[in-house]
């Protein structure tokens, strides 16, 4: 959000941060990676408690930003090799984003994914797959990424 201040004959525009503390902004969203391990449901609940949701990746630009963000932190920054994002098939059998309850219009699945295993119902990204999406058992403990609107 931009605020304009008029100082005498000069106009000064100041950017006002709109993300919660600890989140970083990209476009109209704010992101925070949590370095604690949780099941997908626990991670989803935790994000909701801080007025955000598990990450929904809507396009290649957002995917590229998230990949760079995670990559700069390095694999050593995470206690698990993967991070939960907000995609799941556990509610309807079809892959949806929990944030919007809509189908995936953009995807970045790893080769061979999504798995046909009926237990693999939640999406994670990780270093082993160069941040491509994998379907995983939702009870697995991973780090996670929350997203909120800026």
State pTM to two decimals. Answer: 0.86
Mention every residue, 6+ apart, whose C-beta is less than 8 A from residue 47: 53, 54, 144, 146, 147
The pLDDT, as a whole number, for residue 117 is 94
Helix, coil or strand: residue 124: strand
Convert the pLDDT of each residue in 56-91 to its tens digit.
999 999 999 999 999 999 888 888 889 999 999 998
Transcribe 19-68 into DSSP letters: SPTT-EEETTEEEEEEEEEE-HHHHHHHHHHTT-EE----SHHHHHHHHH
Convert the pLDDT of each residue in 10-59 to its tens digit.
444 444 558 999 999 999 999 999 999 999 999 999 999 999 999 999 99
Q: Is the peptide bond before 71 cis (omega within 30 degrees of 0)?
A: no
């Amino acid at each position: 959000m931009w605020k304009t201040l008029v100082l005498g004959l000069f106009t000064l525009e100041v950017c006002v941060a709109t993300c919660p503390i600890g989140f970083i902004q990209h476009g109209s969203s704010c992101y925070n990676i949590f370095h604690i391990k949780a099941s997908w449901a626990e991670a989803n609940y935790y994000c909701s408690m801080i007025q955000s949701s598990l990450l929904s990746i809507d396009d290649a630009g957002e995917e590229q930003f998230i990949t760079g963000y995670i990559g700069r932190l390095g694999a050593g920054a995470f206690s698990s090799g993967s991070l939960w994002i907000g995609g799941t098939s556990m509610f309807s059998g079809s892959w949806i984003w929990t944030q919007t309850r809509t189908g995936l219009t953009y995807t970045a699945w790893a080769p061979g994914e999504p798995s046909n295993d009926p237990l693999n119902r939640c999406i994670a990204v990780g270093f082993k797959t160069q941040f491509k999406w994998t379907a995983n058992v939702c009870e697995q403990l991973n780090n996670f990424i929350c997203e909120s609107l800026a």
